[in-house]
């Protein structure tokens, strides 16, 4: 008794692992756009629920951020719920421990510090008051801070954003 050829198993095409990933509407633009001031492109960040009552970053650009489509051109302290609070610091070099101590009243579990248009780390003595209360501080440029805050806020985390928008 002779059998026919073995049945073929269904498999993925051999080149499936080598296919390029298609671009989606969620693909972020390149970090620096041609012609953008200081190489920082304006970017819109949209919430899937426009009636969302949480403080959500909806855009940012050179010298400003938008929260729930309201434009701000000054340094801010932001929590998911409650008022957006002006942060009285105009330059990175002016940061003092008192600036970070203001975050204690907000009682966050984590602080995302946006250090301006470029990444600069504050001296540990500036954030020691937060570390003493076991509140983590993550430092990044302001664009990354806006995106990270939105993700953590969407996960239901009690995150605070301390955003430095430098003024001359």
- Domains delineated in the chain: 74-163 (3.40.1230.10)
d(CA 90, CA 75): 7
Q: Beta partners for 72?
A: 65
Q: What is the DSSP string of 43-61?
A: EE---S-TT--S--EEEEE
From first to last of the 168 residues of the chain, give the pLDDT tens digit: 556 655 555 544 444 444 443 443 333 333 343 344 444 444 445 545 544 589 999 999 999 999 999 999 999 999 999 999 999 999 999 999 999 999 999 999 999 999 999 999 999 999 999 999 999 999 999 999 999 999 999 999 999 999 999 986
d(CA 81, CA 55): 6
d(CA 7, CA 135): 61
At 9, list the tokens: 């198993």
If residue 153 lies in a helix (H) or strand (E), which one and from where to where?
helix 142-154
**Is-contact 116 141, C-beta < 8 A?**
yes
CA distances from 154 to 42, 111, 135 (A): 22, 15, 19
CA distances from 112 to 17, 18, 35, 106 (A): 36, 37, 29, 13
Q: What is the DSSP string of 81-145?
A: SS--EE----SGGG--HHHHHGGGGG--SEEEEE-SSS--PPPHHHHHHHHHTT-EEEEE-HHHH
């Amino acid at each position: 008794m002779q059998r026919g050829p073995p049945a073929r198993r269904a498999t993925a095409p051999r080149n499936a692992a080598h296919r390029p990933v298609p671009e989606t509407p969620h693909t972020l633009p390149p970090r620096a756009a041609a012609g953008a001031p200081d190489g920082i492109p304006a970017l819109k960040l949209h919430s899937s629920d426009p009636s969302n009552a949480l403080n959500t970053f909806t855009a940012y650009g050179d010298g400003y951020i938008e929260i729930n489509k309201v434009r701000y051109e000054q340094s801010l302290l932001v929590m998911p719920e409650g008022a957006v609070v002006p942060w009285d610091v105009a330059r990175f070099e002016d940061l003092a421990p008192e600036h970070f101590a203001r975050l204690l009243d907000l009682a966050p579990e984590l602080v995302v510090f946006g250090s301006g248009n470029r990444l600069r780390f504050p001296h540990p003595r500036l954030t020691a008051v937060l570390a003493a209360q076991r509140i983590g501080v993550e430092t990044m440029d302001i664009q990354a801070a806006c995106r990270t805050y939105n993700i953590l806020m969407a996960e239901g985390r009690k995150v605070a954003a301390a955003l430095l928008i430098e003024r001359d």
